[in-house]
Amino acid sequence: MLAETGKQVADEAPKFENASVHDPSVIKVEDTYYVFGSHLAAAKTTDFMNWTQIASGVHDGNPLIPNVTTELAETLEWAQSNTLWAPDVIQLPDGRFYMYYNACKGDSPLSAMGVAVADHVEGPYKDLGIMLKSGMWGQPSEDGTVYDATVHPNVVDPHVFFDKENKLWMVYGSYSGGIYILEMDSKTGFPYPDQGYGKKLLGANHSRIEGPYMLYSPETDYYYMFLSYGGLDAIGGYNIRVVRSKAPDGPFEDAEGHDMTGVGGPAGTFFDDEAIAPYGVKLMGNVQFDYVEGETPGVGTAYVSPGHNSAYYDKATGKYYLIFHTRFPNRGESHEVRVHQMFLNEDGWPVVAPHRYSGETIGAYEAAELVGDYKFVRHGKDITAEVKASSIIHLGADGKVSGSETGTWRFIGDHGLELKLDGSVFRGGFLRQWDGGTMQNVIVFSALSEAGEAAWGSRVGLKE
């Protein structure tokens, strides 16, 4: 664990209790964080490390919606589904908790989205009704035109949020016609009338972009919209990306300044990953920090298809958190919630700490303690089922990088990093974290290139 200086206190293993919530959307109520996800699953924690499962499964008796099969019968019937997809929960000015639920057929965008309300965050929730539908082939859609899945959204994956002016919005969408945003009435919890599906932010022609989540940073005055690219299963190449804007309804840009509004598959295409892969800042994808001879035997961070995240900014501590679900190498489709701390780099982009959050606080370091061998991963910009394994690089005392990559590195301030590799400049920082593979605290770094590619390093943890 860490003292506030960032110095190692002791290599005492932190304790974790895991939970399984797909598409976890976070809300804090008093001193407890809750995540709500697909299949009416939910869990809670007070430290982002130890989770308690509180609900799972769309069946009568689920404490969130005890009579869900009748309460949401219209939604399930429209979507021709027996389960629910990624929800979002927010507390509105009346003090009550509003759950934005949705169901989808899955092999088509036949979907319905509605809202249910409860006096307590853990429920029980009572349905207020459906607000949006999609997938009505050949029929008038929400905007009055004939529904077209290449341009109209799939009404799933909502995130409802207040902007810095305390105005309520809902961003949503998956594949199909893209990601959309609606202006919401904070008194009713429903969209203001006459908006249709709202304003399109990005995507088209069934490009695999989904799970939007918005986070405003008072430090940079940017709205960061997190997205998941690719497919969510173990061979889908799911990966987490981010774009930003000074306005909650865009236009959003990536690190190279691309206007994301036009990003999507070309007309006539379906799941064209190559068309979208160059755009958006890729924060993380499939990764594995391998065991190095001489270490305590074990594998460190190893994720398959991490994605559909939410994010949280703690005003009191100034910490940013990334909350997501992930699968794991050789574990099939089983998944668990993971939380990683994020930091803003010099360019105002979030970088993600390589290992799961274990209570660490970034500190002030000395250049000499950063010199050494690191397990290194470049996440790239591709959408791939390949698990990107670590290689070894050395950060030399002379400012040179050697090993599997060559270049230079520079330590900036208390914990900043500038890394130059093959003409690419990565900016980020150093941190000391718990490495569950080597079972000790190690120096790590995380940085983003000017093209929006993440690079992670974790110090080789040789036994003494």
373 is catalytic: no
For residues 380 and 454, give the distance between their C-alpha atoms in angstroms, rounded to a whole number. 7
Residue of 162, 34, 21 whose CA lies nearest to 85:
21
Task: List, as one string, the DSSP characters of 446-460.
Answer: EEEETTSBEEEEEE-
Active-site entry in 127, 142, 210, 435: 210
Determine the Cα–Cα distance for residues 276 and 203; give it in Å rounded to an integer. 9
What whole-number distance in Å separates Cα of residue 221 and Cα of residue 22? Answer: 30
Report the 10 Å Cβ neighbour count for 291.
16
| Contact assessment for residue 156 and residue 85, using Cβ atoms and an 8 Å cutoff | yes
The answer for 253, left when phi > 0, alpha when psi is -120 to 50, beta otherwise, is beta
* Distances, alpha carbon 311 to alpha carbons 100, 167, 272, in Å: 17, 19, 27
Q: What is the Cβ-side half-sphere exposure of residue 230, based on CA atoms within 13 angstroms?
A: 28
Token match 């949280």: residue? 312
- Tokens representing residue 254 in the block: 């990536």
Q: Does residue 210 carry a catalytic annotation? A: yes
Distance (Å, whole) CA 411 – CA 415:
7
- Catalytic residue of the set 23, 127, 142, 453: 23
Cα–Cα distance between 436 and 299 in angstroms, integer?
7
Nearest Cα to 175, choosing from 199, 153, 201, 192? 153
In the structure, how many helices (H) and strands (E) does the chain have? Answer: 4, 30
Q: How far is CA 263 from CA 183, 199, 330, in A?
A: 22, 15, 33
> Are 393 and 382 spatial neighbours (Cβ–Cβ below 8 Å)?
no
CA atoms within 13 A on the CB side of 137: 5
| Residues pairing with 132 in the sheet | 113
Q: Which sequence positions are flagged as catalytic?
A: 23, 210
